[in-house]
Amino acid sequence: MSATFDFSNKHVFVVGGTSGINLGVAAGFARWGAKVAVASRKQEKVDAAVAYLQSLGADAFGTVFDVRHAEEVEAGFAKVSAFFDAEIDVLISGAAGNFPARVNQMSANAIRSVLEIDLLGTFHVMKASHGYLKKPGASVINISAPQAFLPMSHQAHVCSAKAGVDMVTRTLAIEWGKDGIRVNSIVPGPIEGTEGMDRLAPTAEMKEGVRRSVPLGRQGTVDDIANAAAMLSAPQSSYISGAILPVDGGWSQGGATSIMANLSSMLDKMS
């Protein structure tokens, strides 16, 4: 990744930033000079992520919390604020859960678990963050998914949760505008080498089908999402708020729903 952006002297907190896309985003900001903090549920993942970010030269910190529990999230923000000793310039909120299941295969607890992580978790993170965000100037980014606006088989929980996440984004763009805080969503397409992709397209054949369904002919990389997060957080984007930005090679404009229908029948045969 080339050093295209400059986030030196900036403070970036990535919730759910200990693996996959979100860790890739944290790593991007680390390379661009930011002081970076990450949080997730598992101590070992937090420790490994912090060590990785430090290996990139960043001043990095990690804290453990479950976004489902408001009091844990609030305590986590207090710790991150003490580490930064400054307001948060960039907040990325991307903790999420997913598994493929048809509605008829899903218990109430199954849909509740995803709604609680993705939607209620986003609410907790947004609410806890407000007092710590730079006013004016902070950039807040929620990590959404194409399921937010495209119905997909085996994804009723994620579709409903991420649609809610995007409405939280759009509502806060209104409510926090007066504070000079911008709130946007990034909608990643299929991103290679991630847990999310492995869950929805577990075999090489399924991954190749996904690749072919993307108009630009490739899966995305975590660096594609990091670059989009940096672009949205750069001062040149100071008038962008309330945007729901697909970063998906055109996938959500065509290809996404038809390949998901194919994957669904393959997932049914595998289960």
Contact residues: ligand COA, CB under 6 A = 96-99, 101, 105-107, 109-110, 113-114, 195-196, 199
Question: What is the contact surface with ligand NAP in residues (CB under 6 A)?
Answer: 16, 18-22, 40-42, 45, 66-68, 94-97, 117, 121, 143, 145, 188, 190-191, 194-197
Judged by beta carbon distances under 5 to 8 A according to partner kind, the member of ligand COA, ligand NAP, none in contact with residue 21 is ligand NAP
Residue closer to ligand COA, measured from CB, 87 or 195:
195
Sequence-distant (6+) residues with CB within 8 A of 65 are 39, 40, 41, 72, 73, 75, 76
Residue whose CB is nearest to ligand NAP in the complex, by number: 20
Judged by beta carbon distances under 5 to 8 A according to partner kind, the member of ligand COA, ligand NAP, none in contact with residue 114 is ligand COA
Dump the DSSP string for 102-135: -GGG--HHHHHHHIIIIIIHHHHHHHHHGGGB-T
The enclosing H or E element of 196 equals: helix 195-200
Judged by beta carbon distances under 5 to 8 A according to partner kind, the member of ligand COA, ligand NAP, none in contact with residue 40 is ligand NAP
Residue whose CB is nearest to ligand COA in the complex, by number: 97
Residue closer to ligand COA, measured from CB, 97 or 146:
97
Judged by beta carbon distances under 5 to 8 A according to partner kind, the member of ligand NAP, ligand COA, none in contact with residue 228 is none
* Helices then strands, each counted (H, E), the chain: 10, 7
The tokens describing 4, both together, are 């295209």
User: Are the C-beta atoms of residues 206 and 229 closer than 8 Å to each other?
Assistant: no
Least distance to ligand COA, CB of residue 22, Å? 10
User: Are the C-beta atoms of residues 230 and 7 closer than 8 Å to each other?
Assistant: yes
User: Are the C-beta atoms of residues 69 and 46 closer than 8 Å to each other?
Assistant: no
